[in-house]
Structures are given as structure tokens and as C-alpha cells.
Amino acid sequence: MDIYTRDPLWLELSIAAHMDLEILVSTTYEMEGERLGILRLFSRFEAIRQLGRSLRDDETNRGVLRNADALIRRNAKTPKEGLVFTKQFPGHGSFTGRIVSIEVVDDEKVFKVVYDDDDDEEELGEGEIMGLLNVYGDGLHQRVIDAILPAFDYLENRLTGQCQEQFDCTHSYAICRVLRLFDPSYVSEHEATIDSASVRELALVVPLAMERGGGLLTDLERDLPLLLAAAQGFTADHGSVDDFTESVLGWYKNHSGEVGAWAEASLIVFSFTPSSAAAERVFSLLKELFGSNQDMALADYIQGSMMVRYNGTKRGTSF
């Protein structure tokens, strides 16, 4: 309530900044799904990291937060009652003032302001108030940036291992990077840079490395030319995880006989999810379907019931 009554602009800016950082929310939701978000995760996180770098750079952070910056500009252009600003008083420091009334005297606007720290009052002309609002706007912009950056610092530290060991995500992030080889649109776009060394990096993915005693990785390296040839010219919509998933699955359905071991490996990779949310939903369904009085239910009955319920739910949300 103190923010709402004393500095409503900051409350508006907080909401606007949340809107400007929508990519954080959309990426989180995508990580909780059952589609092929794992193939897009590295590029999504790289986009977030780039956003953080832009915010840190004074040369580029103007215009990045479009909604917040628009509010700041509006505040500077339209002085009205209730607007807050900061004024520097030499020898006394900086004080927060608020416009409490606007009068017209001899065709000139006169702004009566009150300073919150000591309730002192002052009358300022339009030129003076506009200058103070512009300076305050610059300060607000930096204040918003400073409030946001710790989130990007936290993410950066976890992705680069600059954190406690149990929070280190460097290995998981490397897995997301190498799994892009199973996205035919990525393969098509980066054909010139994909080679045997790229395939050998898939050894980071334990299920692939262990399959057939490591023989699957050998076969993937052998069949890389098949994948490169089949993926030529393929594109996919990366703006929607659902459209992307349907496109990639359709490609593998049509080319599974042409890409050798990559078709077999894709069955393993496509079972990966970026988070545990999908598995947690399965346990929630299990608890809903089977009570404590059914603890002795046969495994095939449980499995069949779960598959019918889960797949039925997915079909219902697909149309």
C-alpha cells in the first residue's frame, strides 16, 4: 500500500517489467511440457542470456524493456498530480518530491510539490519540472535494470558453474546443446559445421553412450552423412513448441528408413523432458486413479489404465 499510495509509477513499472520479461515465463512453461522442448532448450536459454547481456550494456539496454521504457517516457512527457521525482539540493542531498497541484498563473503552469522527507513545499515552473522528470526517468530506468539483473546473474552462474556444486547445470546445459543434432532443421542450417566430432559429443548423453555398449554412438557417426542428406532444406517453426514438435516428428516418420541409426537414437532422445514436471503429472494421475485399497493391483492393469487416461488427456488437449 505504501508503494501504491506514495509511488504508483514504480508499481506500474514493476508490472511492465514482468511483461517485458515474458520469455522467462514462456520458457519455464515450455520446460514443463511433454513435447520436444528439449531440442529447443539450448537456443531458448541462449536468447535469455543474450537478453541479460543487453540489459547489462548501457549502449543497448534502452528499448529492451519496451513497456517499462514507454511508461518512463510517458511520465516525463506528461507531468500530472501524484507524479514522483528526485531533486538534488546542494549540501543537503537528494530528496523525493511529489506534484500535489498544478495551477495556471499568467498563462504559465506552476507546479506545487511536496518533499516527502520533511514535508517542505516548493513551486516550480514547467521547464524545471520537466528537467527533474527527465533526470528521474533516467534514474528509474537504471533502477528497473538493477532490480532485474540479479535474476540473470543467478541463471548465468548456474549455467557456467559459478555456484555451489549441487546447483551446477553445466553438464545438463551441454546435453541440451549436443541434442540439437536431432533437430533436422538445425542440421539443415548448420550442415557445414556438423562433423564426426559433433557426433562424438553425444557421449555426454549417458543413455546414448550406454546403448549397445557404445555401439549406437559408433553407428551414429557412421550414418551422419545419411542424416545430413535427408535434412537438407528442412525448416520448422521454432516459435511454437507444438508446431515444432509435430513438424520434427513428421520428418522422422517420413525419413526413418533413410537416416540409419539416427532413427533408433531419436526414440531415446525424444523421451527426454527438460524438467520433472511431466513425470510428476504421471504420479498425480496414478494417485487419482488408484487409492490405498488398490495397492495390490496388477502392474499391467495399472499400466493400461494410466496409458488410457494419460493419452486420452493429451488427445483432448490436441484439438
Per residue in 233-259, pLDDT (tens digit) is 999 998 899 999 999 999 999 999 999
- Is residue 242 located within the same domain as residue 298? no
Domain-located, residue 57:
no
Strand order in the sheet with 84-89: 84-89, 93-105, 108-115, 121-125
Q: What is the pLDDT of residues 62-99, one digit of tens each?
A: 889 999 999 988 877 778 888 888 888 888 888 888 89
Domain-located, residue 211:
yes
Domain-located, residue 170:
no
Q: Above 90 in pLDDT, residue 205?
A: yes
* Residue 292, pLDDT score: 80
* Model confidence band, residue 315 (pLDDT cutoffs 50, 70, 90): very low
Alpha carbons 7 and 25: distance in angstroms, whole number: 26
Domain-located, residue 297:
yes
- Is residue 96 located within the same domain as residue 8? yes
Decide which of 144, 165, 186 is a domain's last residue.
165
Q: Above 90 in pLDDT, residue 260?
A: yes
- Is residue 146 located within the same domain as residue 240? no
Q: What is the pLDDT of residues 168-178, one digit of tens each?
A: 999 999 999 99
- Is residue 119 located within the same domain as residue 71? yes
Q: Which three cell numbers stand for residue 128?
A: 524545471
Alpha carbons 125 and 270: distance in angstroms, whole number: 66
Q: Which of these, 296, 172, 185, lies nearest to 251 by C-alpha position?
A: 185
- Is residue 7 located within the same domain as residue 155? yes
* Model confidence band, residue 135 (pLDDT cutoffs 50, 70, 90): confident
- Is residue 130 located within the same domain as residue 242? no
Domain-located, residue 87:
yes
Domain-located, residue 151:
yes
- Is residue 11 located within the same domain as residue 160? yes
Average pLDDT (123-136) is 87
Domain count, the chain: 3
8 vs 17: which has the higher pLDDT: 17
- Is residue 105 located within the same domain as residue 248? no
Alpha carbons 177 and 183: distance in angstroms, whole number: 11
* Residue 89, pLDDT score: 86
Average pLDDT (298-317) is 75
* Residue 73, pLDDT score: 85
- Is residue 76 located within the same domain as residue 222? no
Give the start-end residues of each E strand in the chain: 84-89, 93-105, 108-115, 121-125
* Model confidence band, residue 201 (pLDDT cutoffs 50, 70, 90): very high
Domain-located, residue 257:
yes
Q: What is the DSSP string of 98-147?
A: EEEEEEEETTEEEEEEEETTT--EEEEEHHHHHHHHHHHHHHHHHHHHHH
* Residue 211, pLDDT score: 93
* Model confidence band, residue 293 (pLDDT cutoffs 50, 70, 90): confident
The answer to whether 87 touches 132, Cβ cutoff 8 Å, is yes
Decide which of 134, 165, 196 is a domain's last residue.
165
- Is residue 98 located within the same domain as residue 10? yes
Q: Which domain holds residue 124?
A: 2-21+65-165
Exposure letters 223-242 (e unless 16+ CB within 10 A, then b): bbebbbebbeebebebeebe
Decide which of 165, 193, 212 is a domain's last residue.
165
Q: Above 70 in pLDDT, residue 313?
A: no
* Residue 316, pLDDT score: 47
Domain-located, residue 215:
yes
- Is residue 295 located within the same domain as residue 248? no
Q: What is the pTM of this model?
A: 0.78
C-alpha radius of gyration, the chain, whole number: 28
Q: What is the pLDDT of residues 216-230, one digit of tens each?
A: 999 999 999 999 999
- Is residue 15 located within the same domain as residue 83? yes
Mean pLDDT across the chain: 89
